[in-house]
Amino acid sequence: MTTYRVDARTVLQVGEQLVGLAEALTLMGDPAADRWAFGPGRSGAAAEELLGAWRHARLRVADALTVLGEAAGSAGGAYLDTEAGVSRRLGGGPTW
């Protein structure tokens, strides 16, 4: 039989860290504002295209990290609830 050991508080912390990382990625400045540094030539347009693609990818990653972070938070909470319920049923009282 396979056994899993889960530290619910660690799962909650991972969720919080993922959401925090997602927020940091979302709040990064818009790189298109720096296009002026390349001047009016083709390099400016190319840089803007590259930076726009990076911004799009960064926001997609941030969305995915938010979903993962929220899922980890829900899972950690469910583990804590389960541990507390099992402990009460076994007569040990709350585990936290």
User: What string of H, E and C letters represents the secondary structure of the chain?
Assistant: CCCCCCCHHHHHHHHHHHHHHHHHHHHCCCHHHHHHHHCCCHHHHHHHHHHHHHHHHHHHHHHHHHHHHHHHHHHHHHHHHHHHHHHHHCCCCCCC
Q: For residues 15 and 70, is the Cβ–Cβ distance under 8 A?
A: yes
Q: For 40-92, how does the pLDDT look when each residue is reduced to its tens digit (9 = 90+)?
A: 788 888 888 888 888 899 999 999 999 999 999 999 989 888 888 888 888 85
Cα distance between residue 58 and residue 32, in whole Å: 14
Q: For 29-38, how does the pLDDT look when each residue is reduced to its tens digit (9 = 90+)?
A: 776 667 777 7
Task: Identify which has the larger pLDDT, 20 or 32.
Answer: 20
Look at the alpha carbons of 57, 58, 61, 63 in this order and tell me if their dihedral is positive or negative.
negative
